[in-house]
A and B are shown apart, each in its own frame.
Chain A
Amino acid sequence: MTRSRYLIIGNSTAGVAAIEAIRQVDGKGAITVVSDEDVVNYSRPLISYYLGGRVSEERMAFRDRRFYERNGVTLILGRKAEELDVEGRKVVLSDGTSLHYGKLLIATGGRPIIPPMDGLQKVREGAFTFTRLSDAKGILGYIRENEVEEAVVLGAGLIGLKATEGLVERGVKVTIVELADRILANTLDREASAILERALGDWGCKVIKEDTISRVVSSRGKVREVVLRSGRSLSAPLLVIAVGVRPNLELVEDTPISYDRGITVDEHMRTSVEDVYAAGDVAQAKDFLSGWSSVIAVWPVAFRQGKVAGWNMAGREVRYEGLFPMNSVELAGIPTISFGTTTPPEADGYEILTRRDEESYRKIVLKENRLVGAIFLGRIERAGIFSGLIRDGIDVSSFKEELLSDDFGLLVLPAEYRKHMVTGEGMEV
């Protein structure tokens, strides 16, 4: 039986961030990382780049080959953490191995949601989800073996649209089916959705909204066709199901660890059980904007949470200040960055500023003169300044009319804040 001071379940964003943070505090304590995937390290968001042929498999890693060795990490790959015994402080893996821990981090991420569809259980080939490298490889192999020329993607969220992009880059014609009345409904506002939807159309994609797949038709186990709720049917030699992900709670379900939508954690990323932490897409942590807790399944949030968890596990007390949703995504050649609340509920004291020109769209959402959301479409330069304004809760009333201007920069910010911001890092302006 192996014992490590730190045991990390999950080897993606939050897991890697935790390793780095632990090592900043504790150079020696044994770290063991378990992953059910058989890959040393890769970046999940790059799978669409891999599918599209823009990034090679070697370039999928976001930490080099020697990262684990350098940090003295025992990496256990291709085995799943199946059982957690918090009393005995051990995790049992799929091969029966037991791992004892001093501190445990659960960073098991999310898993794709598969909505019920008649006939799907008969499909053995040609239907995929799209969150892991093995999915991208599977799709690529399937396209090649079967000379797939068209595909149906269910779900027009970020995952579905990035899968679409990868497929289009491989010459596959894509029809997207989305239940909502617009694409990227959880991330963007109506205007931005419409611009991107048009761009996808110009790119040769078809978008079917307010509809979903009710039945999947297969022959000899291979997917052939999908029938929509509206009765319409679409040829589908390849089907990608991308309606969303949910926290992967399997490991904690039969334990005393509390969870709601995700594993609930406090400001030190601690779960309800001592010495057990959670971070990343599996965790439900403080939401900066609402003050409540929520699952925000995006890379920078997972990384920050993993880092904060790692520091606290190793004994450096750091509070997680909470973050807000943020996304940077390029679709059909149009870059888009969004922050926070982009579509606030109407008549709730929000103020909205927008600006639209030929190549760009910008939107700023304010509440009581403070930024709570923003969209930058087309031109994304300097967008990060707005993330700082949200995080620092800056009153923008003195420079509100500058927020949408072309030369928006630090100079329009109140001198005091500007100086504070820069001096905060040991600098003087």
Chain B
Amino acid sequence: MRKPKRIIIREEYCMGCRLCEVYCITQHSKSKDIIKAYRGEEPRPVSGIYFEEKGFVSFALQCRHCDDAPCLEACITGAMYRDESTGMVLHDRERCVGCWMCIMACPYGVVKPDFGERKVASKCDLCIEAEFPACVEHCPNEAIVLVDEEGERIYKEAV
């Protein structure tokens, strides 16, 4: 199995602006337009990020695409699957029945219920469509960065 690219969280750099969420939602909207995503689209996509903040500490947490992912074991429909070509843990919304077994199983608590069009689970797909995660691209202080399987930084410009 290939190891996926991963997002590294550097909480000491996070300033709590939450732009990661804004760009995540935009990237996962139909229009991919920031204003339309927020003002025109109903339902608005759920972001793949749990933003956590307490006092001066904050960070943006996404699916860790675990090697031995509990959500894959817990999924009763096969909606949650390992993409063999990238190593990522992906989620097929069409197959999902919203049983929340993945939410129960994920020790990071990064799978969200999406009560939009249909009740389904929702989580980070590392912006597979865009080839570079929008949250990382738009983080103004490099509080989240992308690395390859060797742990080497991947920059947007290089993709």
- The reply to whether A427 and B107 form a contact with Cβ atoms under 8 Å apart is no
| B22, CB-defined interface residue at 8 Å | no
Q: Does B73 contact A (CB under 8 A)?
A: yes
CA distance A49 to B1 in the complex (A): 33
How many A-B residue pairs have C-beta atoms within 8 angstroms? Tell me. Answer: 128
- Residues of B contacting A384 in the complex (Cβ-Cβ under 8 angstroms): 70, 102-109, 111
Count class of interface residues, chain B: 35 or more
In the complex, what residues of A have CB within 8 A of residue B77's CB? 43, 46, 59, 62
Q: Is the CB of B101 within 8 A of A300?
A: yes
Contact B97 A54 (CB under 8 A): yes
**B99: nearest residue on chain A (CB-CB)?**
A328
Contact between chains at A426 and B95 (CB < 8 Å): no
Report the Cα distance A9→B103, complex, angstroms: 30
- Of A131-139, A357-365, A404-412, the segment with at least 4 beta carbons within 8 Å of chain B is A404-412
| Chain B contacts for A62, CB-based, 8 A | 75-78
Which positions 98-135 of chain B face chain A at CB distance < 8 Å?
98-109, 111-113
**B66 located at the interface, meaning its Cβ lies under 8 Å from any Cβ of chain A in the complex:** yes
Cβ 8 A contact of A381, one of B53, B74, B97, B103: B103
Check B109 against A382 for contact (C-beta < 8 Å).
yes
Please, which residues of chain A bring their CB within 8 A of the CB of B50? 382, 409
Q: Is A145 part of the contact surface with B, judged by Cβ < 8 Å?
A: no
Q: Is B8 an interface residue (CB 8 A)?
A: yes
Is A422 in the interface zone, CB < 8 Å from B? yes
* Majority DSSP secondary structure for residues of A touching B: mixed
**B-contacting residues, A390-429, CB 8 Å:** 391, 407, 409-412, 421-422, 425-429
Asked if B28 CB lies within 8 Å of chain A CBs, one says no
Chain A contributes a number of interface residues (CB within 8 A of B) equal to 47
Q: Which residues of A contact B78 (CB under 8 A)?
A: 43, 61-64
Assess whether B11 is in contact with A426, with CB atoms less than 8 Å apart: no
Does the CB pair B100–A337 fall under 8 Å? Answer: yes
Residues of A within 8 A of B74 (CB): 299-300, 303
Chain A interfacial positions (CB closer than 8 Å to B):
17, 24, 43, 45-46, 49, 54-55, 59, 61-64, 299-300, 303-304, 307, 326-330, 335, 337, 339, 380-385, 387-388, 391, 407, 409-412, 421-422, 425-429
Can you offer 8 A-B residue contacts whose CB atoms are under 8 A? Answer: A46-B97, A49-B97, A330-B100, A337-B104, A381-B109, A411-B52, A411-B58, A427-B64
CB-based closest 6 A-B pairs: A388-B107, A382-B109, A384-B106, A62-B78, A411-B52, A385-B109
Contacts beyond the supplied A328-B100, A381-B103, A425-B66: 13 A-B pairs with Cβ under 8 Å: A17-B73, A61-B78, A64-B78, A327-B104, A330-B98, A383-B104, A384-B107, A384-B109, A410-B52, A411-B53, A426-B67, A426-B151, A428-B10
